[in-house]
Chains A and B, each alone.
Chain A
Amino acid sequence: MTDRLSDVDIGVDSLLETAPCGFVAFADDGTIRAANATLRDMLGFDRDELQGRRIESILNIGSRIFYQTHFFPLVKLHGRAEEIFLLLRSKGGDDVATLCNAVRRQRGGEWITDCVLMRVRERQKFEDALLRAKKAAEEANEQLELQAMELEMSEQQLLEQGEELERQRALAEDANRAKSAFLATMSHELRTPLNAIGGYVQLLELGIQGPITEKQADSLARISRAHRHLLRLINDVLNLARIEAGRVEYNVAACNLKELADAVLPMVEPQLQSRGIRYSLDIRPDLTAYADHEKVQQILLNLLSNATKFTPTNGSVAVTGSVDGERGERVRLVVRDTGVGIPAERLARVFEPFVQVDDSHARRAEGSGLGLAISRDLARGMGGNLTAESEVNVGSVFTLTLPALLPA
């Protein structure tokens, strides 16, 4: 059949003419030597209309480039090409999708490329859908990668914000430390002239620098009171500042609480007696805390003077001591009064610096408002705590806990 075909001028016999696929034969320079009826019908050309045309003229433009860059080199170098997708162009200018198999061989004295062209319709739809799906998947993937990048960026931003917060916190801490250091220094500087005032008042009162009149003595007494008040305020400020600046040292040792309470009593006894307040003490003689003796004394004095200050005439103040904790690892010292009490909404703030229960109390009771803040800071500094409970017009209970001295 191949021999017969090469002998026939038009290049196709009757069988090939109507075979269910397009057929075209062209020379190396692209000139069409033969085409069958199926291809002519596919493209809408009349008999003999294709012969002599260039093969590119029946390809759409994209396929023309593909023919020159891929298809022709392939058949020229390899002798054949298989399953090549080509979009043909019909006489009317429509695209016709085909799959092409081609063989290049010498025939009738020249090199001819024989091509069969299968029309693809449904298959092309599937391929188009496939390509679309592939593109969509690629786009989705790009989107995902973009989102991943954004996530990474926001994570980075969060990290940076965290670092910024940390920087600001450090700055605030530095500022607070600087403030405390300033207060500590200033309090110290204030105390020096204040001590001079106190000293010279005493000298004048004693008449060492000459006799004084009664009126002058009265004035000196007022100056002296004001001096003591101011000194206490400054001492409180100094103490708090020292604690906050972390400049307090605790000399922790065994600390007998009964002895300690007995030692504090004389300091508040005059006020207790002058106002007819009953005082009771209930501490086992061997109750021992592991704490700084001087600081516990300071706390207890503060609690007792507060209790005395806010308890009306004929009231009572009671100090009790006990062991606390499952294994007796803590001791508890409780100061209970029958005073004016603290309203619930104020109770939470009594340990804040510069807070007194209210203005009227502040006026009635002298003080810096730092006592409780200092006391709690000291208690915590020793590994203990200071808490308060209260009921208005019934009284207040302040509880100091401290580490116990456990038997070795």
Chain B
Amino acid sequence: MDTSVLTRNNVRVFGQGTQPMLFAHGFGCDQNMWRFVTPAFADDYKIVVFDYVGSGKSDLNRYDPERYSTLSGYAEDVLDIVRALDLREIVFVGHSVSSMIGLLAAHQEPDRFARLIMVGPSPRYINDPPYVGGFDRKDIEGLLETMEKNYIGWANFLAPAIMKNADRPELSRELEESFCSTDPVIARRFAEATFFADNRADLPGVLVPSLIMQCSDDLIAPFDVGEYLHRTMPNSTLRVLEATGHCPHMSHPEETIAVIREYLSAR
């Protein structure tokens, strides 16, 4: 077992079951985002959570700008973990960009994946008429700018906090949990890999049964996108949630759990 991968990606494994349920976080956060959902499955599954290299408490020394400039590099992270733990019959749960990362991983090793559960997925965020992704290129540039501005702000109040670390270790822990990715260069690269990606051509090739969880009124993954995915992906199921926004696993964990559970029990 390659334990270096487990440290590199800050992998945590828990739960009573044998079938693995692998939760992959989205852009901007880390494995903490799953903490409202994972306990509900811990009795029946082996829960695996992790941070992509560059996010959360992953090993930043292992960050390779080349590898992580496209989503396939992140898919490699998933496959490294899957191989290190020798996971099979995997129920993969990916939020947002991780839906496509999981899809790419399943492309590589389809036999290991039993189900793909996609929370707010989008194969392409930028409009490409007649395809509607929801954004124009300048919108994404606006996001990059907002991120940049916030790193100025964060740097301002991170500095004194870090200075105080020595006698207030609990503060540093708090900060670590708060900031999903603190390196602005890495965050920007992840944003570009995410929002400039186009995975539409990869959709028809994956036969692993999948669940598309489409939120109501999701600005990041609009309804049209969910429809498009359902049309294009073989063996896909589309469920429209009552939950609004883009993070139902955080804003509406009960409904999210119920929909996933229903899908998994229906097979």
Contact = CB atoms under 8 A, between A and B. Distances in A.
A28 B253 CA distance: 11
B251 A69 contact: no
Given A29-B244, A64-B219, A77 B32 contact: yes
Contacts, number: 111
B57 interface: no
B178 A85 contact: no
Chain A residues touching B, range: 20 to 34
Contacts of A78: 174, 177-178
Contacts of A83: 153-154, 156-157
A228 interface: no
B198 interface: no
Contacts of A87: 142, 146
A72 B251 contact: yes
A258 interface: no
B244 A73 contact: no
A72 B243 contact: no
A65 B139 contact: yes
Interface string B156-168: 1100000000000
Contacts of B178: 74, 77-78
Contacts of B143: 61-63, 65-66
A29 B247 contact: no
A373 to B, nearest CB: 66
B26 interface: yes
Main secondary structure of the interface of B (DSSP, over half): helix
A204 to B, nearest CB: 93
Interface string A55-81: 010001111111011101110111000
A84 B135 contact: no
A29 B252 contact: yes
Most buried by A among B27, B144, B178: B178
B246 interface: yes
B139 A73 contact: no
A73 B28 contact: yes
A69 B139 contact: no
Contacts of B244: 29-30, 54
A56 B152 CA distance: 23
A84 B150 contact: yes
B15 interface: no
Most buried by B among A73, A74, A82: A73
B220 interface: yes
Interface string A85-98: 11100000000000
A61 B138 CA distance: 9
Given A54-B244, A70-B180, A28 B251 contact: yes
A214 B103 CA distance: 117
B88 to A, nearest CB: 31
Main secondary structure of the interface of A (DSSP, over half): helix
B135 to A, nearest CB: 7
A348 interface: no
Nearest to B250: A76
A76 B146 contact: no
Nearest to B218: A68
B100 to A, nearest CB: 15
Given A65-B220, A68-B247, A83-B153, A77 B177 contact: yes
Nearest to B221: A68
B6 interface: no
A127 interface: yes
Interface in B165-184: 174, 177-180
Contact of B27 (A28, A69, A99): A69
Given A63-B146, A131-B148, A69 B174 contact: no
Interface string B131-152: 0000100011111111111101
B206 interface: no
Contacts of A130: 152
A69 B28 contact: yes
B238 interface: no
Contact of B220 (A68, A73, A85): A68
Nearest to B242: A29
A344 B154 CA distance: 85
Given A29-B245, A76-B251, A99-B153, A63 B28 contact: no
A82 B157 contact: yes
Most buried by B among A29, A69, A74, A131: A69
Interface in B211-235: 217, 219-220
A130 B155 CA distance: 14
Most buried by B among A29, A30, A130: A29
A62 B139 contact: yes
A292 B237 CA distance: 106
Nearest to B217: A54
A61 B142 contact: yes
Given A54-B244, A72-B245, A62 B146 contact: yes
A60 B217 contact: no
Nearest to B248: A29
B60 interface: no
The 10 closest A-B pairs by CB, nearest first: A62-B142, A69-B28, A85-B149, A68-B246, A62-B143, A61-B139, A83-B153, A65-B143, A78-B178, A73-B29
15 contacts: A29-B245, A30-B251, A62-B146, A64-B219, A64-B220, A65-B146, A68-B220, A68-B246, A69-B246, A70-B150, A72-B251, A74-B178, A85-B152, A99-B153, A131-B152
